[in-house]
């Protein structure tokens, strides 16, 4: 049975990085927010193609491994794909190079006219959709082959799916830092613990992993 999953990073005060710039598309605090995750063996293997076996293998790594397992299709917002930073670049193919680390169909939500799909190396194909999120989710579920659908982000896209009641599993990796500003992760989610079971676990890095599952 397909489950709809989201994984996010947040600071202890509930922010993800803002202050994005062309030189720093994820924002100035992104590195500190994701340090525990980037240090894992799984991340190094899957994203950096590091086959040395280096990297942490504790609690953070088990969440990193779960992130990459069992996903049959991905959905992401236009900003995460990079359309806001590259509005007029018709050849833009995302941030991830010729072989993105998805390996599945990826549905990019846009507000503009549809454009042709882009097949990439390694099994990723980018599709562009400007229809309702429920319709895109139905298409992604169909394409997932019985595996899970991951809503990859960014935060506003994730919150749209959460508020619409479409998400089965939410994982938030909370870094033990206070940013004081940025994009707010938790807005308008009052009562999510009433429909989802919450569990929390602290990793060796200090990251607090909180999951909501229904």
Interface residue list for a second copy (CB under 8 A): 12-14, 176-181, 186-193, 198-202, 206, 208, 210
Output 122 or 206, the one with its CB closest to a second copy: 206
- Of 172, 157, 167, the residue nearest 108 (C-alpha): 157
Shortest separation between residue 175's beta carbon and a second copy, angstroms: 9
- Classify burial at 175, counting beta carbons within 10 Å of its beta carbon; exposed 0-12, middle 13-18, buried 19 or more: buried
Shortest separation between residue 39's beta carbon and a second copy, angstroms: 17
Distance CA 105, CA 72 (A): 7
Sign of CA dihedral 35, 41, 46, 47: positive
Output 93 or 168, the one with its CB closest to a second copy: 168
Shortest separation between residue 117's beta carbon and a second copy, angstroms: 37
Distance CA 184, CA 200 (A): 20
Contact 67, 147 (CB under 8 A): no
Shortest separation between residue 65's beta carbon and a second copy, angstroms: 21
Distance CA 34, CA 10 (A): 9
Shortest separation between residue 78's beta carbon and a second copy, angstroms: 26
Q: Compute φ and ψ for 43, nearest 5 degrees.
A: -60, -45
Output 28 or 65, the one with its CB closest to a second copy: 28
> Hey, what are 196's tokens?
């989802």
Distance CA 77, CA 98 (A): 20
Output 115 or 181, the one with its CB closest to a second copy: 181
Shortest separation between residue 208's beta carbon and a second copy, angstroms: 5
CA 34, chain centre distance (Å): 12
Output 111 or 190, the one with its CB closest to a second copy: 190
- Classify burial at 86, counting beta carbons within 10 Å of its beta carbon; exposed 0-12, middle 13-18, buried 19 or more: middle
Output 181 or 214, the one with its CB closest to a second copy: 181
């Amino acid at each position: 049975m397909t489950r709809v999953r989201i994984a996010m990073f947040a600071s202890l005060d509930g922010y993800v990085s803002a202050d994005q710039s062309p030189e720093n598309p994820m924002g100035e605090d992104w590195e500190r927010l994701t340090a525990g995750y980037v240090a894992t063996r799984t991340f190094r293997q899957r994203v950096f193609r590091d086959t040395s076996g280096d990297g942490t293998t504790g609690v953070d790594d088990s969440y990193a491994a779960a992130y990459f397992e069992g996903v049959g299709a991905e959905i992401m917002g236009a900003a995460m794909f990079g359309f806001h930073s590259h509005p007029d670049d018709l050849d833009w193919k995302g941030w991830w190079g010729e072989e993105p680390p998805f390996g599945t169909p990826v549905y990019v939500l846009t507000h503009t006219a549809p454009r042709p799909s882009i097949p990439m190396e390694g099994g990723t194909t980018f599709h562009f959709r400007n229809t309702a999120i429920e319709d895109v989710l139905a298409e992604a579920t169909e394409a997932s082959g019985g595996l899970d659908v991951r809503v990859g982000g960014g935060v506003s896209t994730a919150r749209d799916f959460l508020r619409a009641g479409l998400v089965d599993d939410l994982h938030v990796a909370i870094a033990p830092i206070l940013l004081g500003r940025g994009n707010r992760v938790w807005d308008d989610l009052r009562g999510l613990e009433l429909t989802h079971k919450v569990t929390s676990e602290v990793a060796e890095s200090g990251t607090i992993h909180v999951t909501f599952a229904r």
